[in-house]
A and B are shown apart, each in its own frame.
Chain A
Amino acid sequence: MKMETKLIHFSEGIELESGEKLNSFDLMVETYGELNEGKSNAILLCHAFSGNHHAAGSSEDFGIGWWDQLVGPSKTIDTNKYFVVCCNNLGGCAGSSGPSSIDPSSQKIFGKSFPQVSVLDWVNSQKMLMDKLNIECWHFVAGGSLGGMQALQWSISYPDNVKKAGIFAAASKSSSQNIAMNEVARESIRKDENFHNGNYYEHNVIPKNGIKTARMLGHITYLSEEHMDSRFGRKFQDEGSKVEESVSFEVENYLQYKGEQFSELFDANSYILMTKVMDSYDAGKDKPLVEALKNVKAEFLIVGFYSDWLYPPERGKEIQIAAMNNNIRSSFVVLQGDHGHDSFLFSSKTYSNLITNFIES
């Protein structure tokens, strides 16, 4: 598979939804496969909350891509046929401009001064990337969770530049419960003594415990009760492989391990920023969703998972109903999914066939 990773600089900057402006910015971009002559085979993948530009294949920095089960040669999204693009979103911490990168105007780390971005800003910056790559229309824009919100927003913001949108395990807006969970995560980071009001870089520390706790909570919300029960049950952790001495159950050890691993990779300010992007998104902008979808021309494939209690299938159905009321050619399928909210990341026969058939139809 032809795979390229590059940092693309946008010297023209971007006006943000908040009214603030980034005078210039960088996006870390990865592409798979090749753009055909007619430029009709381009696919944009939008990553979820803690994802990045590395969607498929293997890289030294990021290991196996977050959607490697579905994206690659002869896979669900076939990189022999399609030119697949994925970028680390603005505000992230995997190479694109974000709180942990250097502010060109002050030559210091942005830290808390990095402006709050939004799903719309991400889509606008991805459109700038699209122009730079000389692509006129995405054959397919897809993502799960926060990535699905971007796919939805693409179809709203740029109706002429998207043919098909894949909206998986997503919602048109976060629920009160979603926001509440995120607030607990943010609070645990803010209350870490190493957070220093977001300026921890200056003190050469990271609020590791805060990020770890935040991730542990997040991780619970990504899995289902059934999945956790079948995977861990009430099994005890054997002494030899304990991450923390205090743990006794296997599930505790697992969360400790996942939290620990994540806390070393993810920037705390990015974590807070990303959760706020998720919380603030509302495709309908306080109005009924049906109005927001008026100009959409793309076809939709909306997939929800029964085991997902973070963005349950009900949320996908709301999008489907609004789509049908706008005469959008939209399909809505609920699959069992064994991994709760994270189910969108994993390949299964039906899920895979649906996506392939949708792209090829």
Chain B
Amino acid sequence: MAIKLSKIINNWVPENSKVIDFGCGDGSLLKELFENKQVLGYGVEINDTKIEKCIEKGVPVIKLDIDKGLNDFMSSDFDLSIMARSIQCLKNPDLALNRMLELSKRCVVTLPNLGYWRCRINLASGKMPITPELPSSWYETENIHLCTIKDFENLCLKENISIKDKVFINRNGNQGSLSKINPNLFAVEGVYLLEK
């Protein structure tokens, strides 16, 4: 069974901390963090149906485009910001990372790995990758800034962002040994705890 993101990042989330989740979806993650860590969490989401679900769960939510939302809530003092599977959809992922680390002490970022071997096979055959993690065609996808694990870590280095912890997820949704040995080839997703 796949591990839940809330379980992976559980140790990274301080009790009673103030958390903002960019691209929070239906609010499940914040709800779990509220139950496990008593966090005060706010979600940022653009989809009305997902926002209704957040409110139904009692998860406070702000309707905003993440690209804009990052600029809007600059003054807030969060302990942790989260951006799960969304950074590759933003116009300026590099600016977004820096902004997140301005408005919170630490941030959690998860991203799909374009270096995963099945993506490479797709590319080698001359086609844009379509995998269970990246199921959309190039013309339909919201992922406009895909990168590999290596690319992302290079960006962190360039921006002086330190990687405090990281976890790699394999195609079964677990932390397999292969994805630990060579994440850039075997991980479908990287989960990072970042600090500046």
Q: Decide if A327 touches B61 in the complex (CB within 8 Å).
A: no
Interface mask (B38-79 → A, CB under 8 Å = 1, otherwise 0): 001010000010011011111011110000000011011100
Binds B, one of A50-58, A71-79, A331-339: A331-339
Q: Decide if B75 touches A358 in the complex (CB within 8 Å).
A: no
Q: How far is the CB of B148 from chain A (nearest CB, A)?
A: 35
B72 cross-chain contacts in A, Cβ below 8 A: 317, 321
Of residues 312 to 360 in A, which have CB atoms within 8 Å of B's CB atoms?
Answer: 317, 320-321, 324-325, 327, 329-335, 350, 353-354, 357-358, 360
Question: Within the complex, which residue of B58, B75, B77 is in contact with A361, where a contact is CB–CB below 8 Å?
Answer: B58
Judged by a CB distance under 8 angstroms, whether A84 is at the interface is no
In the bound complex, CA of A235 to CA of B142 (Å): 42
Q: Decide if B56 touches A330 in the complex (CB within 8 Å).
A: no
Which residue from chain A places its CB closest to the CB of B72 in the assembled complex?
A317
A331-B52 contact, Cβ under 8 Å, with A320-B62, A324-B42, A325-B76: no
Q: Decide if A350 touches B52 in the complex (CB within 8 Å).
A: yes
In the bound complex, CA of A335 to CA of B47 (Å): 11
Judged by a CB distance under 8 angstroms, whether B120 is at the interface is no
Chain A interface residue count, CB cutoff 8 Å, equals 22
Q: Decide if A321 touches B48 in the complex (CB within 8 Å).
A: no
A331-B76 contact, Cβ under 8 Å, with A320-B62, A324-B42: no
- Give the interface size bracket for B toward A: 20 to 34
Q: How far is the CB of B105 from chain A (nearest CB, A)?
A: 16
A299 cross-chain contacts in B, Cβ below 8 A: 60
Q: Decide if A354 touches B76 in the complex (CB within 8 Å).
A: no
A354-B55 contact, Cβ under 8 Å, with A317-B72, A324-B42: yes
Q: Decide if A324 touches B52 in the complex (CB within 8 Å).
A: no
A331 cross-chain contacts in B, Cβ below 8 A: 51, 54-55, 60-62
Question: Within the complex, which residue of A321, A327, A335 is in contact with B75, where a contact is CB–CB below 8 Å?
Answer: A321
In the bound complex, CA of A358 to CA of B75 (Å): 26
Judged by a CB distance under 8 angstroms, whether B37 is at the interface is no
Judged by a CB distance under 8 angstroms, whether A42 is at the interface is no
Of residues 273 to 332 in A, which have CB atoms within 8 Å of B's CB atoms?
Answer: 299, 301, 317, 320-321, 324-325, 327, 329-332
Which residue from chain B places its CB closest to the CB of A350 in the assembled complex?
B48
B58 cross-chain contacts in A, Cβ below 8 A: 329, 361
In the bound complex, CA of A329 to CA of B40 (Å): 8
Which residue from chain A places its CB closest to the CB of B34 in the assembled complex?
A329
Q: Which secondary structure characterizes the binding site on chain B?
A: mixed
In the bound complex, CA of A96 to CA of B165 (Å): 64
A357 cross-chain contacts in B, Cβ below 8 A: 52, 55-56
Q: Decide if B57 touches A361 in the complex (CB within 8 Å).
A: yes
In the bound complex, CA of A336 to CA of B54 (Å): 19
In the bound complex, CA of A327 to CA of B72 (Å): 17
Q: Decide if A353 touches B18 in the complex (CB within 8 Å).
A: no
In the bound complex, CA of A360 to CA of B57 (Å): 9
In the bound complex, CA of A324 to CA of B20 (Å): 10
Interface mask (B1-36 → A, CB under 8 Å = 1, otherwise 0): 000000000000000001000000000000000000
In the bound complex, CA of A360 to CA of B60 (Å): 14
Which residue from chain A places its CB closest to the CB of B63 in the assembled complex?
A333
A327-B40 contact, Cβ under 8 Å, with A353-B52, A358-B55: yes
A354-B75 contact, Cβ under 8 Å, with A320-B62, A329-B40: no
A330-B55 contact, Cβ under 8 Å, with A324-B76, A325-B75: no
Q: How far is the CB of B26 from chain A (nearest CB, A)?
A: 12
In the bound complex, CA of A324 to CA of B55 (Å): 16
In the bound complex, CA of A232 to CA of B18 (Å): 49
A361 cross-chain contacts in B, Cβ below 8 A: 55-58
A321 cross-chain contacts in B, Cβ below 8 A: 72-73, 75-76
A335 cross-chain contacts in B, Cβ below 8 A: 48
Q: Which residues of A contact B (CB under 8 A)?
A: 299, 301, 317, 320-321, 324-325, 327, 329-335, 350, 353-354, 357-358, 360-361
Shortest 3 CB-CB contacts between residues of A and residues of B: A361-B58, A357-B56, A357-B55
Cβ contacts A to B, 15 pairs, < 8 Å: A301-B55, A317-B72, A321-B73, A321-B75, A327-B18, A327-B40, A329-B40, A329-B58, A330-B42, A331-B54, A331-B55, A331-B60, A332-B61, A358-B55, A361-B57
